Structure 1
Amino acid sequence: MDDAELLRYCLAKPGAWQDEPWEGDIVAKVGDKIFAFLGDGSVGLKCGVNRAEADELVLVYPDDVAASAYIGRYGWNTVRLGGKVPADELCELVDLSYDAIVAKLPKSKRPEA
Protein backbone atom coordinates (compact mmCIF):
# COMPACT_ATOMS: atom_id res chain seq x y z
CA MET A 1 0.00 0.00 0.00
CA ASP A 2 1.40 3.40 -0.95
CA ASP A 3 0.66 6.93 0.32
CA ALA A 4 -2.07 7.59 -2.27
CA GLU A 5 -3.89 4.30 -1.62
CA LEU A 6 -3.76 4.87 2.11
CA LEU A 7 -5.11 8.41 1.76
CA ARG A 8 -8.00 7.11 -0.38
CA TYR A 9 -8.75 4.45 2.23
CA CYS A 10 -8.76 7.03 5.03
CA LEU A 11 -10.98 9.46 3.13
CA ALA A 12 -13.52 6.72 2.36
CA LYS A 13 -14.44 6.57 6.07
CA PRO A 14 -17.74 8.29 6.96
CA GLY A 15 -17.21 12.00 7.62
CA ALA A 16 -13.48 11.83 6.84
CA TRP A 17 -11.80 14.77 5.17
CA GLN A 18 -8.29 15.84 4.22
CA ASP A 19 -6.57 18.76 5.91
CA GLU A 20 -3.11 20.34 5.87
CA PRO A 21 -2.79 21.98 9.29
CA TRP A 22 0.96 22.45 8.83
CA GLU A 23 2.48 23.25 5.45
CA GLY A 24 3.23 20.00 3.63
CA ASP A 25 1.69 17.75 6.30
CA ILE A 26 -1.44 15.94 5.18
CA VAL A 27 -3.80 14.50 7.77
CA ALA A 28 -7.13 12.71 7.68
CA LYS A 29 -9.72 14.09 10.08
CA VAL A 30 -13.17 13.18 11.28
CA GLY A 31 -15.05 16.06 12.80
CA ASP A 32 -12.27 18.38 13.91
CA LYS A 33 -9.94 15.60 15.11
CA ILE A 34 -7.04 13.90 13.32
CA PHE A 35 -7.15 10.11 13.01
CA ALA A 36 -4.22 9.66 10.58
CA PHE A 37 -1.03 11.64 9.99
CA LEU A 38 0.01 10.81 6.42
CA GLY A 39 3.71 11.20 5.72
CA ASP A 40 6.36 10.30 3.25
CA GLY A 41 5.99 6.52 3.26
CA SER A 42 4.50 6.32 6.74
CA VAL A 43 1.32 6.96 8.68
CA GLY A 44 0.72 8.00 12.29
CA LEU A 45 -2.23 6.22 13.90
CA LYS A 46 -3.83 5.90 17.32
CA CYS A 47 -2.84 2.32 18.20
CA GLY A 48 -3.83 2.12 21.85
CA VAL A 49 -5.28 4.02 24.75
CA ASN A 50 -1.79 4.45 26.17
CA ARG A 51 1.87 3.78 25.38
CA ALA A 52 1.86 0.26 26.87
CA GLU A 53 -1.02 -0.82 24.64
CA ALA A 54 0.50 0.80 21.53
CA ASP A 55 3.85 -0.87 22.26
CA GLU A 56 2.30 -4.27 21.55
CA LEU A 57 2.43 -3.42 17.83
CA VAL A 58 6.02 -2.15 18.15
CA LEU A 59 7.03 -5.52 19.62
CA VAL A 60 5.50 -7.38 16.65
CA TYR A 61 7.01 -5.09 13.97
CA PRO A 62 10.09 -3.45 15.57
CA ASP A 63 11.59 -2.39 12.21
CA ASP A 64 8.38 -0.86 10.86
CA VAL A 65 6.48 0.60 13.85
CA ALA A 66 7.67 3.15 16.39
CA ALA A 67 6.16 5.48 18.95
CA SER A 68 5.16 8.75 17.28
CA ALA A 69 7.17 11.81 18.21
CA TYR A 70 5.49 14.09 20.78
CA ILE A 71 2.19 12.16 20.94
CA GLY A 72 3.49 8.61 21.33
CA ARG A 73 2.79 8.64 25.07
CA TYR A 74 -0.92 8.90 24.19
CA GLY A 75 -0.88 5.65 22.18
CA TRP A 76 0.12 6.96 18.75
CA ASN A 77 2.50 4.98 16.54
CA THR A 78 4.18 5.72 13.23
CA VAL A 79 3.85 2.80 10.81
CA ARG A 80 6.18 2.52 7.80
CA LEU A 81 4.42 1.71 4.54
CA GLY A 82 5.85 -1.05 2.37
CA GLY A 83 7.38 -2.87 5.33
CA LYS A 84 6.32 -6.04 7.08
CA VAL A 85 2.94 -4.72 8.25
CA PRO A 86 0.50 -6.34 5.78
CA ALA A 87 -1.92 -4.06 3.89
CA ASP A 88 -4.97 -5.68 5.49
CA GLU A 89 -3.54 -5.13 8.98
CA LEU A 90 -2.69 -1.53 8.07
CA CYS A 91 -6.32 -1.00 7.03
CA GLU A 92 -7.43 -2.51 10.33
CA LEU A 93 -5.15 -0.11 12.19
CA VAL A 94 -6.68 2.83 10.28
CA ASP A 95 -10.14 1.53 11.22
CA LEU A 96 -9.19 1.28 14.89
CA SER A 97 -7.66 4.77 14.92
CA TYR A 98 -10.74 6.21 13.21
CA ASP A 99 -13.08 4.42 15.65
CA ALA A 100 -11.07 5.63 18.67
CA ILE A 101 -11.27 9.23 17.51
CA VAL A 102 -14.97 9.06 16.56
CA ALA A 103 -15.73 7.67 20.04
CA LYS A 104 -14.19 10.81 21.58
CA LEU A 105 -16.26 13.20 19.46
CA PRO A 106 -19.41 14.70 20.93
CA LYS A 107 -22.43 12.78 19.64
CA SER A 108 -23.52 15.83 17.66
CA LYS A 109 -20.26 15.77 15.68
CA ARG A 110 -20.09 12.04 14.98
CA PRO A 111 -20.68 11.03 11.37
CA GLU A 112 -23.62 8.86 10.46
CA ALA A 113 -22.39 5.42 9.46
Structure 2
Amino acid sequence: MDQHTAHEYLAKKPLVMVTKSFGQEVDVYKVNHKMFATLSVGNEGETDEDGNPIWWMNLKCDPDEAQSLRDIFSSVIPGYHMNKRLWNTVILDGSIPQGEIERMIDNSFNLVIANMPEKDRKAIEIHM
Protein backbone atom coordinates (compact mmCIF):
# COMPACT_ATOMS: atom_id res chain seq x y z
CA MET A 1 0.00 0.00 0.00
CA ASP A 2 1.39 3.43 -0.91
CA GLN A 3 0.54 6.77 0.67
CA HIS A 4 -2.12 7.60 -1.93
CA THR A 5 -4.00 4.34 -1.37
CA ALA A 6 -3.64 4.72 2.39
CA HIS A 7 -4.99 8.28 2.26
CA GLU A 8 -7.98 7.23 0.16
CA TYR A 9 -8.81 4.33 2.49
CA LEU A 10 -8.47 6.49 5.62
CA ALA A 11 -10.44 9.42 4.19
CA LYS A 12 -13.35 7.22 3.06
CA LYS A 13 -14.16 6.17 6.62
CA PRO A 14 -17.49 7.65 7.81
CA LEU A 15 -17.39 11.28 8.98
CA VAL A 16 -13.60 11.54 8.79
CA MET A 17 -11.87 14.90 8.76
CA VAL A 18 -8.24 15.36 7.73
CA THR A 19 -6.40 18.07 9.64
CA LYS A 20 -2.83 19.32 9.96
CA SER A 21 -2.78 19.36 13.78
CA PHE A 22 0.94 18.52 13.94
CA GLY A 23 2.11 20.75 11.08
CA GLN A 24 1.85 20.83 7.31
CA GLU A 25 3.87 17.65 6.84
CA VAL A 26 1.49 15.39 8.81
CA ASP A 27 -2.05 14.45 7.80
CA VAL A 28 -4.13 13.71 10.90
CA TYR A 29 -7.28 11.63 10.41
CA LYS A 30 -10.05 12.23 12.94
CA VAL A 31 -13.55 11.00 13.51
CA ASN A 32 -15.70 13.19 15.75
CA HIS A 33 -12.53 15.18 16.63
CA LYS A 34 -10.74 12.03 17.84
CA MET A 35 -7.54 11.00 16.08
CA PHE A 36 -7.30 7.45 14.73
CA ALA A 37 -4.42 7.80 12.26
CA THR A 38 -1.61 9.98 11.00
CA LEU A 39 0.21 9.81 7.67
CA SER A 40 3.55 11.46 6.95
CA VAL A 41 6.87 11.01 5.21
CA GLY A 42 9.14 8.91 7.41
CA ASN A 43 11.74 10.92 9.24
CA GLU A 44 14.62 8.57 8.60
CA GLY A 45 15.24 9.80 5.06
CA GLU A 46 14.41 6.33 3.75
CA THR A 47 13.55 5.97 0.08
CA ASP A 48 12.26 3.10 -2.02
CA GLU A 49 14.13 1.61 -4.98
CA ASP A 50 12.91 4.50 -7.19
CA GLY A 51 14.15 7.16 -4.77
CA ASN A 52 10.67 8.07 -3.50
CA PRO A 53 10.25 8.75 0.21
CA ILE A 54 8.77 5.99 2.36
CA TRP A 55 5.66 7.07 4.25
CA TRP A 56 4.77 6.22 7.84
CA MET A 57 1.28 5.76 9.24
CA ASN A 58 0.44 5.81 12.95
CA LEU A 59 -2.55 3.70 13.99
CA LYS A 60 -4.19 3.09 17.35
CA CYS A 61 -4.07 -0.54 18.43
CA ASP A 62 -5.04 -2.87 21.26
CA PRO A 63 -1.88 -3.21 23.39
CA ASP A 64 -1.61 -7.00 23.03
CA GLU A 65 -2.20 -6.88 19.30
CA ALA A 66 0.22 -3.98 18.94
CA GLN A 67 3.08 -6.12 20.23
CA SER A 68 2.02 -9.12 18.14
CA LEU A 69 2.04 -7.04 14.96
CA ARG A 70 5.52 -5.76 15.82
CA ASP A 71 6.68 -9.35 16.27
CA ILE A 72 5.21 -10.44 12.93
CA PHE A 73 6.09 -7.47 10.69
CA SER A 74 9.47 -5.72 10.74
CA SER A 75 7.71 -2.69 9.22
CA VAL A 76 5.49 -2.26 12.28
CA ILE A 77 7.26 -0.41 15.07
CA PRO A 78 6.17 1.29 18.30
CA GLY A 79 4.19 4.45 17.54
CA TYR A 80 6.51 7.27 16.53
CA HIS A 81 5.86 10.28 18.83
CA MET A 82 2.86 8.42 20.29
CA ASN A 83 2.00 6.30 23.32
CA LYS A 84 4.02 3.23 22.37
CA ARG A 85 1.68 0.91 24.24
CA LEU A 86 -1.41 2.00 22.29
CA TRP A 87 -0.06 3.08 18.90
CA ASN A 88 1.95 1.44 16.13
CA THR A 89 3.76 3.03 13.24
CA VAL A 90 3.30 1.15 9.98
CA ILE A 91 6.10 1.79 7.51
CA LEU A 92 4.56 1.75 4.04
CA ASP A 93 7.49 0.06 2.32
CA GLY A 94 5.44 -2.59 0.48
CA SER A 95 6.32 -5.43 2.83
CA ILE A 96 2.87 -5.71 4.47
CA PRO A 97 -0.09 -6.94 2.39
CA GLN A 98 -2.66 -4.26 1.62
CA GLY A 99 -5.46 -6.28 3.22
CA GLU A 100 -3.53 -6.44 6.50
CA ILE A 101 -2.96 -2.68 6.49
CA GLU A 102 -6.66 -2.13 5.79
CA ARG A 103 -7.48 -4.39 8.75
CA MET A 104 -5.16 -2.35 10.99
CA ILE A 105 -6.83 0.88 9.81
CA ASP A 106 -10.29 -0.59 10.46
CA ASN A 107 -9.24 -1.68 13.96
CA SER A 108 -7.85 1.76 14.76
CA PHE A 109 -11.04 3.47 13.60
CA ASN A 110 -13.23 1.01 15.51
CA LEU A 111 -11.19 1.38 18.72
CA VAL A 112 -11.66 5.13 18.64
CA ILE A 113 -15.40 5.06 18.02
CA ALA A 114 -15.90 2.30 20.62
CA ASN A 115 -14.74 4.74 23.31
CA MET A 116 -17.17 7.48 22.32
CA PRO A 117 -20.47 8.19 24.03
CA GLU A 118 -23.28 6.01 22.68
CA LYS A 119 -24.99 8.90 20.89
CA ASP A 120 -21.82 9.80 18.97
CA ARG A 121 -20.96 6.17 18.26
CA LYS A 122 -24.42 5.45 16.83
CA ALA A 123 -24.26 8.58 14.65
CA ILE A 124 -21.05 7.23 13.10
CA GLU A 125 -22.10 3.58 12.91
CA ILE A 126 -25.21 4.46 10.88
CA HIS A 127 -22.84 5.45 8.05
CA MET A 128 -20.89 2.18 8.14
User: Does residue 57 of structure 1 match 2:69?
Assistant: yes
Aligned partner of 1:28: which letter? Y
**TM-score, scaled to structure 1:** 0.88
Q: Which runs of 5+ in 2 are unaligned?
A: 42-54
Q: Name the residue aligned to 2:14.
A: 14
Q: Name the residue aligned to 1:103.
A: 114
Q: Which runs of 5+ in 1 are unaligned?
A: none
CA 1:35/1:70 → structure 2, altered by over 3 Å: closer, same or farther?
Answer: closer
User: Does residue 35 of structure 1 match 2:36?
Assistant: yes
Mapped to 1, the partners of 2:112 and 2:89 lie a distance apart of 16
Secondary structure of the residue that 2:4 maps to in structure 1?
Answer: helix
Mapped to 2, the partners of 1:89 and 1:70 lie a distance apart of 21
Aligned partner of 1:42: which letter? W
The percentage of counterpart residues that share the same residue type is 30
Q: Name the residue aligned to 1:88.
A: 99
Pick 1 or 2: higher relative contact order, CA cutoff 8 A, min separation 6: 1
Mapped to 1, the partners of 2:115 and 2:76 lie a distance apart of 24
Mapped to 1, the partners of 2:103 and 2:82 lie a distance apart of 23
Mapped to 2, the partners of 1:70 and 1:90 lie a distance apart of 19
**TM-score, scaled to structure 2:** 0.79
**CA RMSD, Structure 1 to Structure 2 (Å):** 1.3
> In the comparison of the two structures, how many residue pairs are matched?
109
